[in-house]
Structure 1
Amino acid sequence: MATSLEDKDCYEILQVSRDSTLQEVKTSYRKLALLYHPDRNPNKEGYDEIFSAISSAYNILSNEDKRKWHEKDYTRDQYSVFTEEIREMQTNLRAVKFDVWVNFINRIRSDEQTAGTKVQWPSLGDSTWLWTHTKPLYQRWLRFSTAKSFEWEVIYNDEEETDPATKRLMKKENLRCIKYCTQQYDAAVRELIATMCELDPRRQNVQKVSDPERYESLQAASRQQSERDRRKYQASLQEQSIASWTVVDQELNWSEDEDIVEDDDVSIDDTEAADNTNCFICSKQFRSLQQLKNHENSKKHKQNSRKARKQQEKEAKLASKSSEASLGTSNSPQEAGSPYNQSSKSAEDLEKSFTFIDMSDEDFFTVPEISDEEAF
């Protein structure tokens, strides 16, 4: 191992990669500790310093938080574009060529791939692209969100703090710094893209399209839209047809064994049996009592039964009202012109309604004599 340990980081000292696991770090540490331990090398110069560096490197890489703090500078060095450079590029955008724009955006794309993004951010293409093909690229970039962690922007190393309250405050402040830097970076990229979209020289390429070509493209789009509308309309008609037949099948939910026959097919000899298998409500005739029973349990028969019952109740009410009206007029013993209707006439009216005959007392009390023969 080289003696100049100041220029080496912990990974180089322990001879492990940056994506090594904790178990790999432990294995390498044990191997190097046995090799460079001072007790095993009492007469070798510089082994004390080497063993101390190995122990310090293992102490850092075996702790997750300390490992992140150690890697923060290395993580930053992986990237080539930062917020300050993006702002500067936006300011000088008019003075640089279009190829410089494309190369700068490609650097941002490369940084995002290094950060492990799953989004495939598109390139800006070249100067020969039509604006109709370029505009969607800008629209996508205007929704940019970085995958960079910005962990190198933390202020405090909270692992060195022993007080729990102070340690929590340090972590909170570090998270606030990371969030702020991420938002600033996203905003800078979006503003740069918006300015590029306004100044893009390919905006003029849309004028190179001739009128016949534009008319043909519009006609093709119109035909495609008409075809989509036609298919959609046919699909809706088919769905309505299926739905209507489903309703009919539900209303005519007869039993599979139900066999309806016409009245003309019934013979005169089977009249008595046919009366027992007739449904007078639905005006149907069946071959057996079982078929009639299945029919009576059907939805259609129950609907007709309810209608017939309501009709009977309606007719009964009408008949009742008619009888009450006739009893209240013509069947009353006290008619309007009768002299016996004493409840509605005064004494003078009653006296006028009777006819008096003048008779003497002798005529009134004279009883004609009747012979024995006439009496018997």
Structure 2
Amino acid sequence: MDLTKEEQSILDGEFGEGAQKAIELIVALGKIYGADGLVDITSAHLSGASYKTIGDGGLLYLEDMVNGGAKVTVPSTLNPVGMDRKRWNEMHIKDDFAEKQIRIIDLYGKMGIQTTCSCTPYDGVNVPKLGDHVAWAESSALSYVNSFIGARTNREGGPGALAAAILGKTANYGLHLKENRAPTVVIDADIPDTLFSHSLLGQAVGSVIGGGIPYYRGIKPGMEEGKTMAAAMAAAGAVAMFHVEGVTPEWKDFDVSELEVVHIGKKELDDAYDKLNTADDVQLIAIGCPHLTEKEMHEIASLLKGKKKRRTDVEIWFCTSERVRSKCPEDVRIMEEFGPVLADTCMVVSPIEGTFSRTATNSCKAGNYLPTLCSQKVMCKDIAELLKVVE
């Protein structure tokens, strides 16, 4: 790899231990993937924020980074943590978990990272521009910004994204290069225009193409549909970018005339649905993976307004960011007649397996992860259908 004089000085330790450790990791990754050099980034988004996922080893790693003087040099945000910082008792969180989770958040904060703790930082907090190089580690968020915004990021791991945030640079390979952003398959989609259908579409496509770059025809997704598709494709496969004809900013940049065309319709959605649903009854309904937007908060509150929760044996969690929760006080009031509106956390990275064994969700992303990360049997349905369980 070709390094500038300044980059070589950082590698030689002239800018401190924290920066040196960061560039060592970035350079090592770059060499593995054949990067020609480094590229400046405008922002980072970091995973590895929940104590459940990083454990004591991750906590010690963060302490070492802070003690070594590590500081981020670009705007950086943090993924959801394992609990709502103010309402963790309502999530059945134990004291020891809560103490260590708060410590993790504090350590990230000492490195200069915004502790907003959301999987949708592009929703008003960390918003790249078309063509920006960034280093993002949340699979659904990086797919969304690659696709709907046209920023450029690879599917970073937590340590890699943190290193890039400290350095302000990442290795120039993969989706940072225009030629690697070309579609690999055309998806001819024939689906209902509902949010849940778009989630099932992402599930079906991710399962079929693995890590390719799909080019969609037949849909016109907005932000909410785009984020749920991105989340499902990343969880069911390893899709880090997609194009939508007439919607995403780079859809005209590539010739798709010779690509294979795959049809996704009712049968494929039904197959995806059947594979995800393994529970007939549930103990927890968890909505907000990825985090609920203001629009979704309004829609859910409208569904619930004037209704009563009749089943006391089923808990409901609504997950969103602190920013969105604070902007929707009337919606929150209505929703909390049914269950807590939790901020900056997510059912997938919370230790729900200590309390529940059967969880319902409207998210195909969560439908993939709840069995493996949380030992849950899953019910995966549209929000309106889920809420009927307790009305």
Where relative contact order (Cα < 8 A, 6+ residues apart) is larger, the structure is 2
Greater fraction strand: 2
- TM-score bracket, shorter-length normalisation: under 0.3
Greater fraction helix: 1
Q: TM-score, normalised by structure 2?
A: 0.22
Q: TM-score, normalised by structure 1?
A: 0.23
